[in-house]
Amino acid sequence: MSLRGALLLLVGLVAFGFWRSERSADAVLAGLPGAGDPTRVVMVSAEWCGYCQRQLADFRAAGVPFIELDFDRAEGRKAVASLGGRGVPMTVIGNEVIHGYNRPQLQQHLTAIGYRLP
């Protein structure tokens, strides 16, 4: 195989990998509870995670209805890994994925669905 052919093959494989990862993320989002609901809030957390506990307290204080997935169980770990996360908390609001305890990003997406963090 020529160098040009090898480069074309490499570019094709990389493009296929990105296409596949996009499809995988879409499939994971569709498989989470509340799929298709623009107001859904799903949070992957762990009992041992201090930031998770702070975010959970914020959600409860603000009256945000949410579904919690446990990172220490297969479903939570799979969601985090499939959506490109490396840890918790990881939150899905509608179809937007928020990695970490990012209050400005959380507030932006919660405001869009009618909630305000304390």
Assess whether pLDDT exceeds 50 at residue 43. yes
Evaluate if pTM is beyond 0.85.
Answer: no
pLDDT in tens, 9-26: 554 544 445 444 445 778
pLDDT in tens, 96-118: 999 999 999 999 999 999 999 99
Tell me the domains of the chain and their CATH numbers. Answer: 3-112 (3.40.30.10)
52 and 45 in contact (C-beta within 8 Å)?
yes
